[in-house]
């Protein structure tokens, strides 16, 4: 699925519509995901073909883009979003808990208990990518472009920070799935106020953005970085 999402970016919209995990679960065969969801493989492929034939302007093929451009895109489209939204969502969740905790504490309390650690982990994760991983990948791209061997780095091979990032992506994916389950698919209760409904919508958007963010890293940036390093050291 990760290869499909990378090669045919418009397929991401189809995967999202069917609740198919194409980011952390990207190494799974598409046929397995269809079986698990009770979807016909041929029908899903037809949907993907249709989505690709009417692709939107933002369906860029990042598998062929310059690595620096890809990193810049991740920073501007996804890191910036998280840095704004995570504290905002935390405040919204606190407000909704204070107003609706008595009637809906069975949902809001475990939701907060999952969101809090996710927020802290993501904030640390972004810092590690920006301070360690992304500069290392940029240095590899510079070595390639200048025809030199890459400079030694304190963390050694790019594979070392990648292992940490992949584990943290898996952790984030589990937290997202847990939050969706706790919130009943983000269907707000009948007596929910506008802030409560907005919270659920924003959490669903957070999930959507993180899925795309993790996909770009797991299935595009990270494999390309490993391939680049291997080529430079060969």
Whether 54 shows a pLDDT value over 70: the answer reads: no
Helices H, strands E: what count in the chain? Answer: 10, 0
Q: Sorting pLDDT into bands at 50, 70 and 90, what band is 56?
A: very low
Query: What are the residue boundaries of the structural domains of the chain, listed by start?
Result: 2-53, 67-233
The per-residue pLDDT for 180 is: 96
Q: What percent of the chain has pLDDT over 90?
A: 62
Q: Sorting pLDDT into bands at 50, 70 and 90, what band is 57?
A: very low
The DSSP call for residue 158 is: T
C-beta of residue 63 within 8 angstroms of C-beta of residue 224? yes
Task: Compute the residue count for the chain.
Answer: 234
The per-residue pLDDT for 192 is: 87
Which H/E stretch holds residue 190?
none
The per-residue pLDDT for 58 is: 52
C-beta of residue 168 within 8 angstroms of C-beta of residue 125? yes
Mean pLDDT of the region 201-215 = 93
Report, in angstroms and rounded to the nearest whole number, the Rg of the chain calculated over CA atoms.
19
Q: What percent of the chain has pLDDT over 70?
A: 96
Whether 186 shows a pLDDT value over 90: the answer reads: yes
């Amino acid at each position: 699925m990760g290869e499909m999402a990378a090669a045919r970016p418009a397929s991401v919209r189809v995967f999202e519509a069917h609740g198919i995990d194409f980011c952390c679960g990207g190494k799974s065969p598409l046929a397995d995901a269809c079986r698990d969801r009770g979807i016909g493989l041929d029908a899903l492929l037809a949907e993907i073909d249709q989505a690709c034939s009417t692709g939107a302007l933002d369906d860029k093929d990042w598998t062929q883009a310059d690595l620096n451009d890809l990193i810049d895109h991740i920073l501007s489209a996804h890191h910036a979003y998280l840095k704004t939204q995570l504290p905002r969502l935390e405040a919204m969740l606190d407000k909704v808990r204070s107003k609706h905790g008595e009637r809906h504490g069975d949902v809001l309390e475990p939701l907060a208990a999952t969101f809090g650690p996710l927020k802290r982990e993501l904030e640390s994760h972004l810092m590690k990518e920006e301070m360690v991983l992304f500069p290392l990948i940029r240095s590899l791209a510079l070595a390639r472009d200048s025809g030199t061997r890459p400079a030694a780095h304190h963390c050694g091979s790019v594979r070392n920070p990648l292992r940490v990032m992949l584990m943290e992506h898996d952790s984030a994916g589990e937290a997202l799935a847990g939050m969706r389950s706790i919130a009943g698919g983000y269907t707000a209760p009948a007596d929910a106020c506008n802030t409560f409904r907005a919270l659920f919508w924003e959490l669903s958007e957070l999930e959507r953005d993180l899925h795309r963010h993790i996909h770009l890293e797991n299935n595009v940036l990270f494999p390309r970085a490993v391939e680049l390093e291997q080529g430079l050291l060969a």
